[in-house]
Amino acid sequence: MKKKVILAILVIFLIAFVPLFVLKDAEFGGSDDAGSTVVEEVDSSYEPWATPIFEKLIGGELPGEVESLLFCLQTGIGVGVIAFFMGRFVERKKWMKDEN
């Protein structure tokens, strides 16, 4: 059972990250690109002060679908953590009622 779970997690990561390295020159547009275009129109001398970590690793921009995937993954992890702690608090109340 444990091997199946580890294999499933490995497959999920491969599905998520292989396209990053295979499709380096893929071009996708999104709200971030539109925002940077407007900033360039307003102030052409503006230079970004930070570069995203994944863009440094793959040597180009992340496709929009991958950015959405990472955002959804982050959201899912956050919801899981919050749900876990909320569940613990509910169970603690049940245990305290049973002790009294």
Q: Following DSSP, what letter does each residue of the chain receive, concatenated? A: -HHHHHHHHHHHHHHHHHHHHH-TT-----HHHHHHHHHHHH-TT---S---HHHHHHTSPPPHHHHHHHHHHHHHHHHHHHHHHHHHHHHHHHHHHHH-
Would you say residue 78 has pLDDT above 70? yes
Residues in the chain: 100
Euclidean distance between CA atoms 25 and 75, whole angstroms: 27
What are 52's two structure tokens?
A: 């995203």
Give percent of the chain above pLDDT 70. Answer: 93
Residue 18: the pLDDT is 84
53-73 pLDDT, tens digit per residue, is 878 888 888 887 888 888 899
